[in-house]
Amino acid sequence: MGKDHRVTLKSRHAYRTLSNRVKTIKTPGGRYTSQLIAKARKGPICGDCGISLPGIKHMNSTEFKNAKKREKTVSRAYGGSRCGNCVRQRIVRAFLIEEQKIVKKVLAEKSKKNKKSD
């Protein structure tokens, strides 16, 4: 039969909730003690497609507040808010809309010219 690994919690929070998970560790002195396990952070997600943003650490709000700017963003348009693929889609969409406007304008001028000549 194994050793007894029952330990007293360090904090006054007694219930085994998601925010109060503990791991039993053995100290160099040979006794067992509890160690709090930090929650896994979700990290920022893309506002368009919902994937986790690459290049940005997963931190809680306090760590995020105290982090440097380079740790919170990516040096690109919409960096830290949208992923690269969504930014590319936005740029292409805007370009195609502008091209469509130009084509429409040219066709309108052409039809105007044809009506004048008739």
Question: Of all residues in the chain, what percent carry a pLDDT higher than 90?
Answer: 83
Write down the pLDDT at residue 29: 94
Return the beta strands (E) in the chain as ranges. Answer: 22-26, 32-36
Residue 118 has pLDDT above 90, yes or no: no
CA 41, CA 61: separation in Å to the nearest integer?
10
Q: What mean pLDDT is predicted for residues 109-118? A: 83
pLDDT digit string (tens) for 32-75? 999 999 999 999 999 999 999 999 999 999 999 999 999 999 99
What is the value of pTM for the model shown? 0.70
